[in-house]
């Protein structure tokens, strides 16, 4: 059955494909219902009848849920399953944030929606990415190549599944407002580029895995305040915050650049690693209420916590503090060590004391009783921690809860 754009509801609604973006789903609704004009299709589905654009159409999730008769599970599920909104929220940031010093948004979802279909769906208005191996697999399996959410995330230049560089294209304004564009159906003049010409550097791989874990975890919602609090704690525990509560600029820059040296040449990571931008990053971290770009936040969280699980736990912990009013002020002076070496000694001492008291304890037990020290050692002193508390060693002696 074929419907016309002037009718209120599309007759056929495809099921979302695994990890498919909202934009991609729109394109398939358009094709499945044989709408001739993509802009009119958008006007009908999105409720933005004024502008007649495709990529930059303003998206009204309530309208879309209504015309699709609730088929996609309601507004919340549409946003959480078909867009990277959760990813940005959990990092306490927003797709439109490209420079530090912006005030944080009151409502990340409302701001995301105001950005238009392409940005809401694919994270950016015109620069989209895909994995050639995923594309082939999708064409063979589903008969269509489509946009994956995980490939569009800021800071992701590698496909974790195939451990290969993503491809990217920058779509010209006119082209993206006229038609739906999919990875297997790019306009003839679209330029395609390898995002990561250096293969798959280890830190790029780690960032891609970290980002994917954030996207796929349904368990927790972050807030700008809890994320900032966690990052500040992480910096302090790494000995990078002075007793006066300021970032130790020289040490911060040296460690930051050293950790990410293997991806410093990639355009994706140029802003946070660029010499000219580093002073403003340090200054942003020194201020209260900053909102960093998602790529920078991801890099900080990966550096300071090493895994989404540990970062999430700390954000949750911070949230509890915020809710109970304990952490109104930064706690730097209480957790800051003088130098990274002081921090190392302090956390090692904590671990040694713990093992004296509980000789049969496991890594999990240490985490449960001393999460800060466990996290610090896991991130900054992994080999030493592995010697003291091998991850494979299990005794099940203790059952302690963090909260
Ligand atoms: Zn792939």
Tens-digit pLDDT string for the chain (403 aa): 334 444 567 889 999 999 999 999 999 999 998 887 888 888 888 776 666 788 888 888 888 888 899 999 988 888 889 998 888 888 887 766 543 333 344 444 455 556 688 888 888 878 899 999 999 999 999 999 999 999 999 999 999 999 999 999 988 888 888 889 999 888 877 889 999 987 889 999 999 999 999 999 877 666 778 888 889 889 998 999 998 889 999 999 999 999 999 999 998 998 889 888 888 889 888 886 677 888 999 999 999 998 898 898 888 888 776 666 544 444 433 444 567 787 888 888 888 887 877 777 788 777 767 777 888 888 888 889 888 888 754 333 333 333 2
The answer to whether residues 79 and 174 belong to one domain is yes
169 CA from centroid of ligand 1 (Å):
16
- The pLDDT of residue 100 is 35
Same domain, 143 and 280: no
pLDDT at 293: 85
Q: Are residues 151 and 297 in the same domain?
A: no
End-of-domain residue from the set 144, 162, 194 = 194
Q: Distance from the CA of 342 to the center of ligand 1, in angstroms?
A: 43
> 186 and 215 share a domain?
no
Q: Which residues of 26-48 are buried (b: 16+ CB within 10 A; e: fewer)?
A: bbbbbbebebeebbbbbbbbbbb
Going by their DSSP bridges, the two strands 167-170 and 192-194 should be labelled as antiparallel
* CA 273 / ligand 1 centre spacing (Å): 27
Measured CA to CA, the distance from residue 273 to residue 258 in angstroms comes to 10
pLDDT for the residue numbered 43: 81
Compute the distance from residue 132 Cα to the ligand 1 centre, in Å.
Answer: 7
Co-location of 149 and 190 in the same domain: yes
In this prediction, residue 323 carries a pLDDT of 63
Contact 48, 67 (CB under 8 A): no
Question: Does 13 reside within a domain?
Answer: no
- Residue 393 in any domain: the answer is no
152 CA distance to ligand 1 middle (Å)? 12
Residue 3: the pLDDT is 41
| Separation CA 261–CA 257 (nearest Å) | 6
Q: How far is the CA of 161 from the centre of ligand 1 (A)?
A: 5
Final residue belonging to a domain, choices 194, 222, 255: 194
Task: Supply the pTM of this predicted model.
Answer: 0.76
Q: How many residues does the chain have?
A: 403
Residues 219 and 171 in one domain: no
Q: Is residue 111 part of a domain?
A: yes
The answer to whether residue 3 is domain-embedded is no
Q: Do residues 112 and 218 both lie within one domain?
A: no
Among residues 176, 194, 212, the one where a domain terminates is 194
Residue 128 CA to ligand 1 centre (angstroms): 14
Q: Is 17 contained in some domain?
A: no
Residue 87 lies in a domain: yes
Domain count, the chain: 2
Q: Could you tell me the CA-to-CA distances from 363 to 16, 310, 401 in Å, in that order? A: 40, 13, 14
Residues 147 and 88 in one domain: yes
In a domain? residue 400: no
Domain with 313 in it: 204-388
For residue 133, report the distance from its CA to the centre of ligand 1, in Å: 5
């Amino acid at each position: 059955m074929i419907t016309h754009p002037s009718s209120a509801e599309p007759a056929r609604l495809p099921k979302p494909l695994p990890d498919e973006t909202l934009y991609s789903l729109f394109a398939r609704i358009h094709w499945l219902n044989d709408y001739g004009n993509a802009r009119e299709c958008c006007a009908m589905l999105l409720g933005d009848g004024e502008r007649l654009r495709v990529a930059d159409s303003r998206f009204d999730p309530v309208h879309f849920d209504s015309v699709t008769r609730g088929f996609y599970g309601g507004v919340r599920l549409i946003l959480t399953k078909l867009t990277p909104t959760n990813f940005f929220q959990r990092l306490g940031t927003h797709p439109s944030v490209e420079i530090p010093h912006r005030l944080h948004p009151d409502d990340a979802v409302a701001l995301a929606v105001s950005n238009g279909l392409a940005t809401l769906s694919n994270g950016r208005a015109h620069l989209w990415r895909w994995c050639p191996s995923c594309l082939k697999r999708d064409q063979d399996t589903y008969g269509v190549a489509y946009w994956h959410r995980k490939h569009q995330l800021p800071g992701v230049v590698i496909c974790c599944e195939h451990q290969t560089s993503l491809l990217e294209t920058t779509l010209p304004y006119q082209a993206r407002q006229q038609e739906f564009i999919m990875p297997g159906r790019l306009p003839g003049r679209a330029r395609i580029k390898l995002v990561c010409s250096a293969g798959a550097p280890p830190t790029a791989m780690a960032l891609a895995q970290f980002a994917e874990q954030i996207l796929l975890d349904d368990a927790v919602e972050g807030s700008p305040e809890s994320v900032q609090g966690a990052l500040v704690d992480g910096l302090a525990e790494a000995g990078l915050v002075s007793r006066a509560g300021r970032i130790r600029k020289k040490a911060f820059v040296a460690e930051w650049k050293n950790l990410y040296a293997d991806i410093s040449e990639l355009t994706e990571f140029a802003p946070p690693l660029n010499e000219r931008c580093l002073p403003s990053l340090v200054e942003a971290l020194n201020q209260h209420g900053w909102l960093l770009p998602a790529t920078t936040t991801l890099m900080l969280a990966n550096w300071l916590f090493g895994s989404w699980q540990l970062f999430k736990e700390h954000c949750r912990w911070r949230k509890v503090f915020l809710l109970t009013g304990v952490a109104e002020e930064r706690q730097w002076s209480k957790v800051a060590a003088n130098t990274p070496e002081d921090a190392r000694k302090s956390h090692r001492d904590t671990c040694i004391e713990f093992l004296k008291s509980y000789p049969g304890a496991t890594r999990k037990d240490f985490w449960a009783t001393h999460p800060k020290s466990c996290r610090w050692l896991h991130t900054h002193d992994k080999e030493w921690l592995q010697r003291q508390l091998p991850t494979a060693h299990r005794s099940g002696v203790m059952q302690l809860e963090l909260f």
